[in-house]
Amino acid sequence: MSAPQIPNLLASRGGPRSRGGRGRGRGGGSTHAQNRKDLDVQATDTDAAVSRLSAVSLGYFNDPSATYFVNGAGTRRLPIINRGTYTRTTALDILINAFLSESNDTPPQKRQIISLGAGTDTRYFRLRATNKHRNLIYHEFDFPSVSTTKSRIVASNESLSKGDGNATLFVEPKKPTESDSDPDPEWGFRDLREGESETIYCCHPLDLRRLPYAPSMKELNSFHGIQSDIPTLLISECCLCYLETDNARDVVKWFADRIPSLGIVLYEPIGVDSPFGQTMVANLAARNITMPTVKVYKNLRDQKDRLSEVGFTDSDGGQGGETIERIWDQWVSPEEKERVDSLEGLDEVEEWQVMARHYAVVWGWRGSGWDSWKELL
Amino acid sequence: MSDLDRAIAQLRACRPIPEAQVRELCHKARELLIEEGNVVTVTAPVTICGDIHGQFHDLMELFRVGGDVPDTNYLFMGDFVDRGFYSLESFLLLLCLKVRYPDRMTLIRGNHESRQITTVYGFYDECLRKYGSANVWRYCCEVFDYLALGAIVLGASTSLGESKGLRPENLSSTQQDDEGIEIELLNHTGGVIDRFPRGQARNGARSSPSTKSSSSPAAKTGPPDPAPGPQARSTARRSNVRSPLVRPRRDRRLGPLPARAGFLFGADIVKVFNHANDLSMIARAHQLVMEGFKEMFDNSIVTVWSAPNYCYRCGNIAAILELSEDSSGESMLARSNGDVNRSDGGVMKGNDKVLLAGPARRYRVFQAAPQDSRGMPAKKPVADYFL
């Protein structure tokens, strides 16, 4: 379209550090192809960051830190993409704010968010900017190269690294393991809470695919600062869809087996059998990107069933799901729609509908602490 | 070989022509277009095409399917530019063909043929990228200002002539339950894969065909511009028609469009408009239909969409609409632009609801050009998604 493609910055920065498929558990001739593929998946984070900055610059939503994670001035996306970015962000905001609003209880209940494949996502900094992070511990998982890039950006930017009172940046070396003799350090922010130093934000450099199978990661406490006894929300915004179906399920199960009060939000494409869906699969394949799970979970029903299979059952919790099309129609107020529409003017209603119908936000929960989510349905 | 023919050959190969040549071409085009009315008259046979949106290789596909210029008489309803990678080549080729064969090529203005829209949706950026300055964009925009806003097709037949394609053997003549409408599915060389009369169509509109009757003097194309019809019993006043957009709507009211881009018209307005202007059918574009075309409101209006796999992303098929010539000569009527017999501004009376049957129409449905014909490296990312 009008936007020239942005070079894959993360791939070029992270490239020299990937040191021959270190710790990926894959050997032989497939390593190179696999690394190539991983870099292509990591490049989707650049897509997301550029799209976020585009929507923010045009006034779709507020995110002062969006600009720090894009090299250069960014690219203006087409109105349809901006509206998609807006709607997806709004959907996640609504679910996350509902989750956090429960901590209005007295005494405030501490909560935890674990963002899978977060990349250069700015959600933590957005929460911080609106002071919603006070009773929250925020974790991010992503490839070591992505995590390292992010740590470099955060460390070198004062408003990111020093923007939160007395919170200080830390780097926590990891112990070497059998499969990884030189693991990348975990890093994040610490702050004084109730007189004690506590980790409030932490990035874990890890190829998530290994999580369910590595002997060194049997326990939750193999990761710095993750707690098992507080309500915890797992977020996967276009992350698990790049994993093999079994692998994706095992990753979710890994957390479900260790954290009793757990919620999950997935954002991924659906409807791959339609002409639009088939074109999407083919176009992404041309970028060397495959999405195994979307071939299995084809509609909202499949997605919700998928969640109940890993423990988000009706007996102990529940599931919900909407397409981006419906979220725009139903969750965005008429006044807000008018405001957003006036920013650019989206001239192609039918194209929006067909595209927005092919993305879904699905959520599930189990255990206590999810009353505000029940009210969403 | 004239300069113009050389330019056509170069553009057909999807190579832009030099800036000076664009300037000259646009100048010639303006001289030509200034002589044409805001609503131009076109005589059948004619092939009506919808949006192109810079999908150059699919435009070549369209010519393979519909026949080449000047063999086929074309009417393009606009939106030549924006969205696709080759707005410049697509529009300049069409403009060259217009200048070279003025009587075989009609271009009308779509909503993307504007300075404002092209700066948002890609044509401006493309010109800047390909020429290093906005001059070519400026020349093209000046041409946009001179494009007609609508066209009236005269002399369309009520029965289909022999198709240029080959008749598939599995289709017997008795299967033709509606001889007035036919759909052909075409492969990428323009050969007929399948052909079926309207009654069996799975794609396209679900409404029942009603084109058995005789007189069909005109099919109007493009925005419903309120030009008086040939035997105009009544005429919609200009102020009654606010927008070229007609969107499907089950209820009969009209109201502003959600994005405030115009007004939403329903079946009643379309029928009143057709009646008032003595039109049998409106052809329009600029609304994506996954099936390539869609007739609505008892076949009083059709949307034609000619950009297959729109934005390289939507997975839709495309269509062009062929109207054949009425050999009887009866439907050739002189059109009057005078005020004779004008009446009440288009208010329909209760016993007045006699609709003209539409012209016979053949939809040629086609898919996007195969990837290898695009001359693009396969790995180049082609479309944005929400990732």
Contacts of A328 in chain B (CB under 8 A): none
Q: What is the pLDDT of residue B219?
A: 44
Confidence of residue A104 (pLDDT cuts 50, 70, 90): low
Residue contact B313–A355, C-beta within 8 A: yes
- Is 70 exceeded by the pLDDT of residue A287? yes
Q: How many other CB atoms are found less than 10 A from the CB of residue B18?
A: 12
How many other C-beta atoms can be found within 10 angstroms of the C-beta atom of residue B23? Answer: 15
Q: Does A6 touch chain B (CB under 8 A)?
A: no
CA distance B134 to B131: 8
Residue listed under structure tokens 């509908």: A353
| A73 in contact with B, Cβ within 8 Å | no
Interval A105-145: pLDDT, tens? 667 789 999 999 999 999 999 999 999 998 999 999 999 99
State yes or no: pLDDT of B280 exceeds 60: yes
What the block records as the tokens of B200 is: 């069996």
Percent of chain B with pLDDT over 70: 64
Of A8 and A93, more confident:
A93
With a cut of 90, say whether residue B11 has pLDDT above it: yes
Distance of CA A372 to the CA centre of its chain: 21
pLDDT computed for residue B262 by the predictor = 67
- Provide the percentage of residues in chain A whose pLDDT is more than 90: 66
pLDDT of residue A242: 94
Contacts with A, B 96-155, CB within 8 Å: 111, 117, 120-122, 125-126, 129
Query: For residue range B236-275, what is the model confidence (pLDDT) as tens digits?
Result: 222 223 333 444 444 444 455 554 456 778 899 999 999 9
CB within 8 Å of A167: residues ≥ 6 apart: A189, A190, A191, A200, A201
Residue B176 pLDDT > 60: no
Of the partner residues A84, A283, A341, the one whose CB lies closest to the CB of residue B386: A84
Size of interface A-B (CB pairs under 8 A): 103
Domain boundaries, chain B: 11-376
In chain B, the residue whose alpha carbon lies closest to the alpha carbon of A240 is B387
- Does position B345 have pLDDT exceeding 90, yes or no? no
Name residues whose C-beta falls within 8 Å of residue A42's C-beta, 6 or more positions apart in sequence. Answer: A8, A10, A11, A14, A119, A143, A145, A146
Q: What is the pLDDT of residues A251-268, one digit of tens each?
A: 999 999 999 999 999 999
Q: Is B310 part of the contact surface with chain A (CB cutoff 8 Å)?
A: yes
CA A366 to chain centre: 20
* Residue B135: per-residue pLDDT: 97
CA B110 to chain A, closest CA, distance in angstroms equals 12
CB contact under 8 A, B259 and A345: yes
Q: What is the pLDDT of residues A9-57, one digit of tens each?
A: 444 333 333 333 344 343 445 678 888 888 888 888 888 999 999 999 9
Q: How many CA atoms lie within 13 A of A370 on its CB side?
A: 27
| Pairwise pLDDT comparison (B109 vs B199), residue with the higher score | B109
Q: Contact A283/B383, CB-based, under 8 Å?
A: yes
Sole residue written with tokens 């240029």: B164
Q: Does the distance separating the beta carbons of B315 and A274 come in below 8 Å?
A: yes
What pLDDT score does A11 carry?
Answer: 40
User: Could you tell me the two tokens for A31?
Assistant: 């390593």
Residue B316 at interface with chain A, using a CB cutoff of 8 Å:
yes
Asked whether residue A127 is marked as a ligand-binding residue, the answer is no
pLDDT computed for residue B320 by the predictor: 97
How close is the nearest chain A Cα to the Cα of B235, in Å?
A: 30
Is the minimum CB–CB distance between A82 and chain B shorter than 8 Å? Answer: no
Please check whether residue B15 touches A, CB under 8 A: no
CB contact under 8 A, B381 and A286: yes
- Helix-helix angle B123-131:B135-144, to 10 degrees: 140
Please report the pLDDT score of residue B65 as a whole number.
93
Residues 197-256 of A with CB under 8 A from B: 238
More confident position, B325 or B134? B134
Minimum mean pLDDT range among A85-89, B167-171, B202-206, B217-221? B202-206
pTM: 0.80
Topology given in CATH for the domain delimited by B11-376: Purple Acid Phosphatase; chain A, domain 2 (3.60.21)
Q: Is the pLDDT of residue B76 over 50?
A: yes
B13 is written with which tokens? Answer: 């190969």
Structural domains in chain A plus CATH codes: 9-374 (3.40.50.150)
Model confidence band, residue A352 (pLDDT cutoffs 50, 70, 90): very high
Active site residue B112: yes
**Mind telling me how many Å the CA of B93 is from chain A's nearest CA?**
20
Among A162-171, B5-14, B361-370, top mean pLDDT goes to B5-14
With beta carbons under 8 A apart, name residues in chain B contacting A85.
Answer: 386
Q: Is the dihedral of CA B56, B60, B62, B66 positive or negative?
A: positive
Alpha helix (H) residue ranges in chain B: 3-12, 19-33, 56-66, 87-100, 115-121, 123-131, 135-144, 267-276
Higher pLDDT, A23 or A98: A98
Nearest to A1 among B247, B258, B384 (CB): B384
Q: Taking CB atoms and an 8 Å cutoff, what residues of chain A touch B258?
A: 337, 341, 349
Q: Give every CB contact of residue B89 below 8 A, 6+ residues apart in sequence.
A: B11, B14, B15, B16, B56
pLDDT digits (tens, 9 = 90+) for A227-255: 999 999 999 999 999 999 999 999 999 99
CA B162, B74, B246: angle at the middle one, nearest 5?
105
Q: Which A residues, 273 through 292, put their C-beta within 8 Å of a C-beta on chain B?
A: 274-280, 283-284, 286-288
Q: Is residue A28 a known part of a binding site?
A: no
If pLDDT is split at 50, 70 and 90, which confidence band does B228 have?
very low
Mean pLDDT of chain A: 88
B332's enclosing H/E stretch is none
Q: Which of B112, B188, B275, B286 is catalytic?
A: B112
Looking at residue B325, the DSSP 8-state letter turns out to be: B
The SS3 of residue A191 is strand
Residue A348's pLDDT band, with cuts at 50, 70 and 90, is: confident
Q: Say what the pLDDT of residue A72 is.
A: 83
A208 in a labelled binding site: yes
CA distance readout (Å), A168 to A187, A190, A193 = 11, 5, 13
Strands B150-154 and B218-221: antiparallel
Out of B125, B289, B378, whose CB is closest to A286?
B378
For residue A186, say whether it is annotated as part of any ligand binding site: no
pLDDT for res B255: 54
Q: Does A48 touch chain B (CB under 8 A)?
A: yes
A237 belongs to an annotated ligand binding site: yes
B174 confidence band (pLDDT: 50, 70, 90): very low
Chain B residues close to A348, C-beta within 8 Å: 288
> By the 8 A CB rule, do B364 and B66 touch?
yes
Q: How does DSSP classify residue B209?
A: P
Q: Which residues pair with B325 in a beta bridge?
A: B156
